Structure 1
Amino acid sequence: MSEATSELPAESEANPSPLASDKTAEVIRLLALVTLTAGLFALCAWLSVPLLPAITWGVALAILAWPMHLKIRRHVSRPGLAAALSTVAVVALILVPGLLVTYQLAREATSAAQRVSGDEAAAQIREKVVSIPGGKQVVKWFDRAGIDAEKEISQIIRSSTQGASDLVQGSATAALQFLIAVFILYHLFHDRAEFLGGLRDMLPLSVEESNFLMKRAADSVHANLYATVLTSLIDTVGFGFAFWMVGLPAPFLWAVVVFVLSLLPVVGSGLVWVPAAVYLALSGHWIGFTALVGWGLFTSIAIDNLLYARLAGGRMRMHEVPALIAFLGGLAVFGVSGVVLGPAAFAVTFALMEVWKRRMRGVSVSPSVS
């Protein structure tokens, strides 16, 4: 009897129970499901990357224009028609000023190209360099080194003119991204409740906590676009006036270029005002050179960074330091779309930390999405 009893554990180990086998199979199926789900999510994200600018700006415009859509919805009973009217209104607000600016850009770009032909401008710059104390020695050094300075300057001027032309003409890719953003915008107006409901269902949070996260994300979009546009407008007006005062050609053209490039803090607007300051120095306009450099440094430090961080950080309920890091990091990783994505990621992360903090304290969150 004792021998038979001693053999039972060995027999049990050799032949596991059906219950243990079922548990193992269930774990394997669960792991397979998790792996498949993660892989498909990664595939969807990979497929969405080329359209990230369109998705980002479609969502951002929907958030910004939602109050306007609510007003239209009160007077239009049909949801589809109300969404279409709201979409048309947003597109008009973007395209009409854009077309006017493009027309003015085209005029000034053509005028600037006529006044600044590559070879002629290169010869003028050579004369200016020679007239500067010590400039003649620099020109002689270039000649001894076999460097055709006039040819290099001509190529730089031609490439700059071509860059301005490309800016005016745009591209098919940009047009496609814009059309996709408009398509997304319409459906976010029309199916907002469905999208938000689906997102809430996917989050492992309560309804109140999900609404809390969405509210913070929406606030980050409002805060960043408001701060970005305001600081860019300050840059544009200031540099446009400065270009006009010092007598630079096509001040409106370059002011608009500054507006576009000022989305890239510290470095962006410098791509315009630094060469302009060098041109003024070579021309002997030292007062204009000093004024332009002073304004450029002031805007780079005080407006594009400090003022932006103060404007955006307050509404995002975020300190100025992480607000600035989110903005610059978003631009570095996602390009222009990072203006929205970087701060939104930080805002949602901080909101999740707040959720954990309140859970640990036993305090509920209740703000709803605006």
Structure 2
Amino acid sequence: MRAITFFWLAFGAAAYLMYYVYAIYLMDILIALLICIATYGLHNFISKHIRFPIIAALLSVAILVLLLVVPFFFLIKSIVVSATEINPTDFTHFIEGTKTQILSLFVSFPEIERKVADVLSNISASSILSYGLNFSSQLGKSSLNFIIDTGFIVVFLFFYFLYGKQAYEYILALIPFENTQTTDVLNEVTSVIKVVFYTSLVNIVLQGFAFGVMIAFFGYDGAFFGALYGFASLVPVVGGGLVWLPLAGYEFYLGHTKNAIIIALYALSICAVFIDNIIKPILIGIINKKILKTSVRINELVIFFAILAGLTSFGFWGIILGPAITALFISLLRIYRKQMTKESLDTPKSGEA
């Protein structure tokens, strides 16, 4: 057996065993890497003022946790506390009153009223509470997994900040491309990740602020519901509906039909359509060209749809994964195209030999 054949067999076996051992952590490792890429500028800034690498890495991670993780868990805690304070009797009155309100809209249309009444007859406070308990149980399990994953991501993020430069140089030497090609790919992916990361943060703030200002006019806590709406906007498909729908339903139950309609129309038109689908692609272009001034050559709409696809496929973390995978694929296509062009130019035409 040739030495190179034995090497690749041994390497393949070792690679499989490595995957088997670390498979459970691969997603956390990848997400930590992408967050590190997006926020490495913060670590560079801190490293210029702090001489000790370990302290600089710890401080970088601590700042990101305070900015990104702590507010999220604070909101989750507030929601759980509010849910435990629900009075079953009051909730029953709320459901029955809402059903009465809905039926009152169809008094002039008896046939439609009967059909709506048949549908509403299957809805009761007890069935909703039962569903809510089951959902809370599943949410509790998911939240526990999310907390564990977040803990591992924080740990991996610390090591990326601490040894990032050495790892980057080592991996750069392993990739069998020309240095310029490898640098182009990595710069493209890195730039896209940064653009998406900061665009998502700005989008959360814009949607949360817009909804918070509006809902404050109806006597609700604008800061709390605005922050809640901002984070909810990241949830695939339903998004901010997790926030505005219950609030509009409660206003409708109170008999404030006009308020309920305003809340629903505002959330759907301004937050969901205008900010998320019109302003967001524009934000991507502004952050890319004006603020970060990156060398990204991928169209803003492609990045926008990559975010949507990533959210659908990977959930919350798909915001970064979708665009990163898309950028890597497009960059590799560019390398392939350049390589084929170069080979065609180097190949002598018939009759020239």
Does the 8 A contact of 1:235 with 1:258 survive in 2?
yes
State how far apart, in whole Å, the 1-side matches of 2:47 and 2:266 are: 46
Matches within 5 A, 1:213-232: 213-232=185-204
- Partner Cα separation in structure 2 for residue 337 and residue 130 of structure 1: 42
CA distance in 1, matches of 2:197, 2:119: 50
User: 1:84–1:186: 8 Å Cα contact kept in structure 2?
Assistant: yes
Does 1:292 pair with 2:263? yes
Match of 2:302 in 1: 322
Match of 1:68 among 42, 45, 49: 42
1:252–1:311 CA distance, 2 compared to 1 (3 A): closer
Query: Is the CA contact 1:130–1:139 (under 8 Å) kept in the aligned structure 2?
Result: yes
Poorly superposed stretches of 4+, deviation over 6 Å: 135-139, 164-170
Q: 1:266 to 1:320 in 2, by over 3 A?
A: farther
197 and 340 in structure 1: CA distance in 2 versus 1, 3 angstrom threshold: same
The root-mean-square deviation of aligned C-alpha atoms, in Å, is: 3.8
Q: Which has the larger radius of gyration?
A: 1
1:94-173 superposed matches below 5 A: 94-98=68-72, 101=75, 104-105=78-79, 108-109=82-83, 113-114=86-87, 117-134=90-107, 148-149=121-122, 151=124, 153-156=125-128, 159-160=131-132, 171-173=143-145
Residue 312 (structure 2) aligned to one of 332, 351, 367: 332
The amino acid across from 2:187 in the alignment is: K
Matches of 2:10 and 2:273 in 1, distance apart?
A: 48
Aligned partner letter, 1:344 = A
Instruction: State the distance in 1 between where 2:68 and 2:319 align.
Output: 18
Shift of 1:181: 0.9
The letter for the 2-side match of 1:287 is K
- Counterpart amino acid of 1:324? F
Long gaps (5+) in structure 1:
1-24, 363-370
Q: CA deviation at 1:164?
A: 7.5
Code of the residue aligned with 2:322 in structure 1: it is: G
Residue 91 (1) aligns with residue 62 (2): no
Aligned pairs for 1:1-370 within 5 A: 26=2, 30=5, 37=11, 41=15, 44-45=18-19, 48=22, 50-98=24-72, 101=75, 104-105=78-79, 108-109=82-83, 113-114=86-87, 117-134=90-107, 148-149=121-122, 151=124, 153-156=125-128, 159-160=131-132, 171-246=143-218, 254-264=225-235, 267-281=238-252, 283-298=254-269, 299-312=271-284, 315=288, 316-359=296-339
Report Cα offsets for 1:275-297 as digits up to 9, x if no partner.
Answer: 54455455543432332233233
Residue 38 of structure 1: how far off its partner (Å)? 5.3
**Helix, strand or coil: the match of 1:204?**
coil
Tell me, yes or no, if the aligned pair for 2:40 and 2:161 is still in contact at 8 Å: yes
- CA separation in 2, counterparts of 1:116 and 1:231? 39
TM-score relative to the length of structure 1: 0.72
CA–CA separation in structure 2 for the residues paired with 1:94 and 1:179: 13
